[in-house]
Amino acid sequence: MIAEVCQQPEALERTLAGAIRRADAFRKLLAKRKPRLVVLVARGTSDNAALFGRYLIEITTGIPVSLAAPSISTLYEARLDYRDSLVVALSQSGESTDTNLVLERARAQGALTLGITNERSSTLAKLAEHVFLVRAGKEKSVAATKTYTGQLLLLYLLAYALGGGVRFSDLQRIPEAVEAALGLAPEIEALSERYRFMRHAVVVGRGLNYANAFEFGLKLMETCYVVAERFSSADFLHGPIALVEPSFPVFAFAPPDRTWPSILETLKKLQHLRAEIVTITDSGNREAPDHATRVIRLPRRLKEALTPIPYIVPGQLFAGYLAAQKGLDPDSPRTLHKVTLTL
């Protein structure tokens, strides 16, 4: 897992270089066939990437985005009107049975379809009319890391193809920002020792980093067996904050821009409750140390729109190192397999 986390700068560079022409071609197609709705369908880590895609696409393009509930098609066999819609399936392996079935039926029901996968020869790649490939190389760990960030990068390109204000020059800076985040590995490994006996935690985020709260929480659950609840900082204040008591661990994604006032309000209330607060932020946020027990600070200030990929890297590292502190193998979590088949 840790080795694959460290492979991400190169994987992201390959993914971006390999997808630019395809994104341009898809942009020209969509200019003639602009969808009224985008539907994203995925499971697991890919579903967390899809959650990011929803925020990004709606913010940058104004096109409504829906996250599909696969059981509507697979169990209830409902027929949906997908005319003038773009249905995007995300799967690292391309072999997720329910994701593929939803995509296949959506195409039959009039949708334009796109697959985002790390496997060129997968079932998903054959079912979709168009394919954006993650070029992460083989991912051996059950805990997905480099395929998650590869999917996020391709969702930026999808937003670009849909007419969103995404610039290639900005995306080209992401691998370097990830490399800088990896430089925090010794600090994060040392920090993980403090949480060796952690059994429960909360992860909060908002806006473009809301998906990272889900992904970091998932990594804590599947690799460290920590019960990690995931919340928007706004939803957290509507009830779940009641579970917090002194020393309860809360991890917060805290970029210094649009979402910071909301995150700050949450952190202040957590401080009053004497929670154990760890924030993930960057050098642009000078207030974070005043409102946290520990701060993981990326060394460079980033545009808020570009924070999600670099910001998840400390979470990935922390989960991998914490698993080692607990004597667990993050590459082979109990009861889990790389490909999960569900309907």
pLDDT > 80? residue 160: yes
- Provide the β-strand partners of residue 295: 279
Q: Is the separation of the CB atoms in 99 and 114 below 8 Å?
A: no
What pLDDT digit, counting tens, does each position of 1-55 carry? 999 999 999 999 999 999 999 999 999 999 999 999 999 999 999 999 999 999 9
340/35: higher pLDDT = 35
Residue ranges of domains in the chain, CATH in brackets: 2-172 (3.40.50.10490), 182-325 (3.40.50.10490)
Write down the pLDDT at residue 343.
58
- Please indicate, yes or no, whether the overall pTM of this predicted structure exceeds 0.75: yes
What pLDDT digit, counting tens, does each position of 190-205 carry? 999 999 999 999 999 9
What pLDDT digit, counting tens, does each position of 274-322 carry? 999 999 999 999 999 999 999 999 998 999 999 999 999 999 999 999 9
What are the two backbone dihedrals, phi and then psi, of residue 339, each rounded to the nearest 5 degrees? -115, 125
- Residue 339 binned pLDDT confidence (cut-offs 50, 70, 90): low
Q: Is the separation of the CB atoms in 161 and 26 below 8 Å?
A: yes
Tokens of 54: 């929803």
Write down the pLDDT at residue 342.
59
Question: What percent of the chain is modeled with pLDDT above 70?
Answer: 97
Mention every residue, 6+ apart, whose C-beta is less than 8 A from residue 209: 253, 255, 259, 307, 308, 311
**Whole-number mean pLDDT of the chain?**
94
CA 94 from centroid of its chain's CA atoms: 17
What pLDDT digit, counting tens, does each position of 198-257 carry? 999 999 999 999 999 999 999 999 999 999 999 998 888 788 888 889 999 999 999 999
